[in-house]
Amino acid sequence: MPILTYMITCVDLSVSYVYVLQYNSINVQVKECVKMKEITEKFDMEKVIEEFERLTKDAENVQKETLKRILEENASAEYLQSLGLNGRTDPESFKACVPLVTYKDLEPYINRIVDGDVSPILTGKPITAISLSSGTSQGKQKCIPWNDELFETTVQIYQTSFAFRNKEFPIQNGKALSFIYSSKLSQTKGGVTAGTATANVFSHPGYRHTMQALKSPSVSPDEVIFSPDFQQTLYCHLLCGLLFREEVSLISAPFAHSLVNAFRTFEQVWEELVTDIREGVLSSRITHPFIRTAMSKLLTPNPELANLIHKKCIGLSNWYGLIPELFPNAKYLLGIMTGSMEHYLKKLRHYAGEVPLVTSEYGSSEGWIASNVNPKVAPEFATYVVLPQIAYFEFIPLKQLDGTKVELEPVGLTDVKIGEEYEVVFTNPAGLYRYKLGDVVKVIGLRNSTPEIRFIRRNNLMLTINIDKNTEVDLQLSVETASKLLAEEKIEVIDYTSYIDLSKEPGHYVIFWEISGEASDDVLDECCTCLDKSFVDLGYVSSRKVKGIGALELRLVRKGTFQKILEHYVGLGASAAQFKTPRCIGPTNTKVLQILLENVVKNYISSAYN
Ligand code: AMP
């Protein structure tokens, strides 16, 4: 087949969509281009809410239709053909023929796609792009098929969350200070575009339009967002935020970690930022010529603004209320703030003062799941409503029978029970069928006929030596309890992780803490014992009592250690925007363990159960 390419440009006043098309698919792709423009440009808040109500009232049928659509579009895929569906699209046949899978099961198929096999493997249309997951939750980056349909679901979820948010916190025509980082997309050896999920979203031709329609275009130019160096990007985001401070109506990042990281960085670089504004010259720390060029268009000497920011900063007490001081028109802070992000809420509230924190959506590199339609609810109590049209969902009930975990048959979206915990399984339009995501959620209620869920945790057991079973939530609670002792000294736990030390018998838990100030040994001894006592799992307590598990050890690491861990992951190609501190370091994660061990400044041994 001769490969003849055409450039089709759908132009409007503010943005150009450029599609490279193969000659034999021009009509289809022009239609897609027009459809994408319609989806991203037209945003009518009332219509989005009406549509949400309609779809969630009819969730069972919408799910059937969604499954039918996915299976029909991908009927020619080798994977589905091999499973003998023979054109059937009903949920019963689907469940009977298609197995539940994890990433590992699909990896051989995905590897062929990555290597450039364009035959219909997992989807009818060839997959031409993949998203690299952050790799922080499972230690290894996954290659997830990505296509325009996934971008459409991104728009749907953004529009739904925004529609409800904007009812509560209306934004007129502002800008967003968005801490987004999009490393450049690369090509695999097989010619498939590869980038992080966030990079795929941010670099999509429809993204900028979507954000404009949602009154949230970024204050930063594209050159900043697409820079290969996230530290330089972060500095410039902060600078752009200050330059447009009056226009900033919301401050956002995909995950709360990035928000806290940004303002911690501000504490360190604010004087340099003020100098840049005063002199109208960008700091020499920014070395990429294309960022310098883009930023120089925004910077002119502005001593008045510099003086104002300087005065505001020195007037703050320990940076409390920094955000409203700097950005007087910011209506809220937005990002994923639940699950492992809860640890950062305290610090975020410190910076935010009276400005509300709003958790955004629930999703993953593999696809979106749910929107936050109750934005006024504090993140600690937030729930997400599953959108029945974005994927076909199933939920595996997680039950303990006689103390052992049993895995039951998955149930459909509208068959879940309020109060129960489930593992999420979904079938998406980009080639994942009955895919076990590995997240545990709890059904809190129903919104019309679709579940309202709370994110609980990743499903993998984290800390276990013998009969003990502790999850990331158990660790989080233990850290939360112990860190209250530090809070009395006005010191906070900047970040934490854990590790099972089996180098000596019996093995024991090691918790790494980076803290914000100097605490006395007495206090840290107490924190260590408190950490140990706060793991209340019966297996742990009984093992500790009989010395089947050794005393818990708290290791204090140098300031900046967790930043080094972030940089390590970013160096491996993970997105800084999707970064989640790994809460337990496995024995094979040698590099991260090495970073931690090299930075230990002091250790403490628990005196509990002596
Ligand atoms: P990634 O691998 O970077 O795509 O991260 C996806 C994972 O982030 C999900 O599987 C969840 O474990 C976590 N996550 C995403 N959204 C939320 C949320 N709203 N609350 C808690 N955790 C979330």
227 pLDDT band, cuts 50/70/90, is: confident
Of 257, 336, 424, the residue with max ligand 1 atoms within 8 A of its CB, to mutate for a pocket test, comes to 336
Q: Give the Å distance between the CA of 136 and the centre of ligand 1.
A: 11
Asked whether residue 45 carries a pLDDT value surpassing 50, the answer given is: yes
For 550-597, the pLDDT digits (tens) are 999 999 999 999 999 999 988 888 888 888 999 999 888 889 999 999
- For 153, the token pair is 């679901």
Measured from the CB, is residue 258 less than 6 Å from ligand 1? no
Residue 41: which pLDDT band, with cuts at 50, 70 and 90? low
pLDDT of 37? 60
Arithmetic mean of pLDDT, 351-364: 97
Residue 455 in contact with ligand 1 by CB distance below 6 A: yes
pLDDT of residue 140 exceeding 60, the answer is: yes
Ligand 1 within 6 A of CB of 197: yes
Average pLDDT value for the chain: 90
Residue 39 confidence class, pLDDT cut points 50, 70, 90 = low
Residue nearest atom 5 in ligand 1 by C-alpha distance: 364
Environment class of residue 124 by beta-carbon count within 10 Å: exposed (0-12), middle (13-18) or buried (19+)? middle
Lowest mean pLDDT among 1-15, 264-278, 476-490, 550-564: 1-15
Q: What is the pLDDT of residue 190?
A: 87
Residue 203 has pLDDT above 90, yes or no: no
Rounded distance between C-alpha atoms, residue 281 and residue 284, angstroms:
9
CA of 338 to the centre of ligand 1 (A): 9
Tell the residue nearest (CA) to atom 10 of ligand 1: 364
Cβ of 134 below 6 Å from ligand 1: yes
Give, as one character, the DSSP assignment of residue 521: H
Hey, how many other C-beta atoms are within 10 angstroms of the C-beta on 100? 17
Q: What's the angle, vertex CA 219, arms to CA 216 and CA 225, rounded to 5? A: 100
CA of 202 to the centre of ligand 1 (A): 18
In this prediction the pTM is 0.90
Q: Determine the pLDDT at residue 7.
A: 30
Average pLDDT over residues 114-118: 91
pLDDT > 70: percent of the chain:
91
* Pairwise pLDDT comparison (600 vs 589), residue with the higher score: 600
Which residue's C-alpha comes closest to atom 21 of ligand 1? Answer: 339
Expressed in angstroms and rounded, the spacing between residue 172 Cα and the centre of ligand 1 is 30
Render pLDDT for 519-543 as a digit per residue (tens, 0 to 9). 999 999 999 999 999 999 999 999 9
pLDDT of residue 169: 94
Atom 19 in ligand 1: which residue has the minimum CA distance? 362
Mutation to probe ligand 1, out of 131, 137, 181 (largest number of atoms < 8 A from CB): 137
Give residue 457 CA to ligand 1 midpoint distance, Å: 9
Distance (Å, rounded) from C-alpha 258 to C-alpha 351? 13
Q: 437: Cβ below 6 Å to ligand 1? A: yes
Question: How many angstroms does the Cα of residue 359 sit away from the middle of ligand 1?
Answer: 12
Query: 364: CA distance to ligand 1 center in Å?
Result: 5
d(CA 138, CA 354): 36
Joined tokens for residue 208: 């900028």
Ligand 1 centroid, distance to 98 Cα (angstroms): 25
Q: How many residues does the chain have?
A: 610
Please name the residue ranges forming H helices in 103-147: 103-114
Q: How many helices and strands (H and E) does the chain possess?
A: 21, 24
Q: Tell me, in angstroms, the distance from the centre of ligand 1 to residue 522's CA.
A: 37
Long-range contacts of 262-267 (CB under 8 A, 24+ apart): 262/179, 262/234, 262/237, 262/238, 263/319, 263/322, 263/323, 263/351, 264/347, 264/494, 265/234, 265/235, 265/238, 266/238, 266/322, 267/319
Residue keyed to tokens 């968005």: 178
Q: Looking at residue 494, what is its pLDDT?
A: 96
**Pairing state between β 584-585 and 435-447:** unpaired
The residue whose CA has the least distance to atom 7 of ligand 1 is 364
Tell how far the Cα of 179 is from the centroid of ligand 1, in angstroms: 17
- Interatomic CA distance for residues 86 and 84, integer angstroms: 5
pLDDT computed for residue 353 by the predictor: 97
Name the residue at shortest CA distance from atom 6 of ligand 1.
364
- Res 412: pLDDT: 97
